[in-house]
């Protein structure tokens, strides 16, 4: 009866889809969330639109410029059993490209057929949750007294994106704290702790992150070595 109702964005569905995708990951201790490297349960390829045009022999100007251009930031090509996400590699920061690709992943996971206002709002909500999950924001504010600027630094998003997410977050009355939300936070907590440690001690987070990351990798290897030597001791 009311057509307007069907056009309302379903934000719960978007949050759930992004949460599920984060929960699928083995490790979220990364400086940037690299959308191309996430574990997906469908076949998704990525290419720059510039690279793609060269490969398929379509003039870039037809895709990128003029009245009938197909693409401003990114788009998805749907194959029989795969998706190809195209992003604009020109004059874009790494963060911006990641955001664009995540937006396209949102369209894929939310099974959008169109790209109208409702779909745009939903893909945007998906992207926000993927980069800055609600429950993790809640813990950053509650446990670390984090501010909006900290969110941008921790999750490597633009200040504008962090600010929008921050505003949405504080409008909410409740934060979902299910098993998956908590598991995602556990995967992100280490980075958050390191960030606030650096902040309190006046250390450069990006430098410390990579130093710590190396040690972390070594530690993993060391675990294997120590159990290996334990094992070999048994044979002496
Ligand atoms: Zn879109």
- Ligand 1 centroid–CA 116 distance in Å is 8
Q: Which two tokens stand for residue 27?
A: 């490790």
* Mean pLDDT confidence for 119-136: 96
Find all residues with CB under 8 Å of 152, minimum gap 6, and list them: 158, 159, 161, 162
Rounded distance, CA 111 to CA 101, Å?
Answer: 15
Query: What confidence tens digit (pLDDT) does each residue in 169-190 have?
Result: 888 888 889 999 999 999 999 9
Strands (E), the chain: 44-48, 74-78, 83-87
Determine the pLDDT at residue 236.
38
Determine the pLDDT at residue 235.
45
Among candidate residues 158, 160, 150, 162, the one with its CA nearest the CA of residue 199: 150
- Ligand 1 centroid–CA 87 distance in Å is 12
Query: What confidence tens digit (pLDDT) does each residue in 37-64 have?
Result: 999 999 999 999 888 888 888 887 777 6
- Ligand 1 centroid–CA 85 distance in Å is 12
- Ligand 1 centroid–CA 45 distance in Å is 17
- Ligand 1 centroid–CA 143 distance in Å is 34
- Ligand 1 centroid–CA 123 distance in Å is 6
Query: What confidence tens digit (pLDDT) does each residue in 193-226 have?
Result: 999 999 999 999 999 999 998 888 887 776 655 5
Q: Which two tokens stand for residue 40?
A: 């997906």
- Ligand 1 centroid–CA 112 distance in Å is 9
Residue 31 pLDDT exceeds 70: yes
Residue 191 pLDDT exceeds 80: yes
Among candidate residues 47, 27, 48, 54, the one with its CA nearest the CA of residue 38: 27
Produce one character per residue of 199-221: b if its CB has 16 or more CB atoms within 10 Å, e if not: eeeeeebeeebeebeeeeeeeee
User: Quick count: other Cβ atoms within 10 Å of Cβ 19?
Assistant: 22
Rounded distance, CA 126 to CA 129, Å?
Answer: 5
Q: What residues are neighbours of ligand 1 (ion), with CB under 5 Å? A: 123
Give just the sign of the alpha carbon dihedral 92, 96, 99, 100.
negative
Determine the pLDDT at residue 223.
62
What's the pTM value of the predicted model, to 2 decimals? 0.86
- Ligand 1 centroid–CA 133 distance in Å is 20
- Ligand 1 centroid–CA 28 distance in Å is 25
């Amino acid at each position: 009866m009311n057509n307007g109702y069907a056009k309302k964005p379903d934000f719960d569905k978007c949050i759930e889809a992004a949460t599920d995708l984060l929960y699928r990951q083995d490790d979220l201790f990364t400086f940037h969330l690299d959308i191309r490297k996430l574990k997906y349960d469908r076949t998704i390829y990525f290419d720059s639109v510039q690279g793609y045009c060269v490969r398929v022999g379509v003039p870039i100007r037809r895709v990128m410029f003029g009245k009938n251009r197909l693409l401003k930031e990114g788009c998805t090509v749907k194959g029989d059993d795969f998706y190809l996400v195209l992003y604009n590699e020109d004059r874009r920061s790494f963060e911006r490209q990641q955001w664009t690709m995540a937006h396209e992943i949102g369209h894929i996971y939310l099974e959008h057929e169109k790209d109208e206002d409702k779909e745009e709002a939903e893909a945007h909500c998906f992207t926000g949750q993927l980069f800055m999950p609600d429950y993790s924001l809640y813990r950053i504010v509650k446990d670390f007294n984090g501010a909006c600027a900290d969110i941008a630094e921790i999750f490597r998003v633009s200040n504008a994106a962090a600010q929008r997410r921050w505003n949405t977050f504080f409008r909410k009355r409740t934060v979902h704290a299910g098993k998956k939300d908590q598991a995602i936070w556990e995967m992100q907590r280490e980075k958050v702790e390191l960030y606030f440690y650096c902040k309190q001690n006046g250390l450069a987070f990006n430098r410390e992150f990579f130093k710590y990351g190396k040690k972390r990798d070594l530690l993993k290897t060391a675990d294997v070595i120590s159990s290996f030597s334990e094992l070999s001791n048994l044979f002496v």
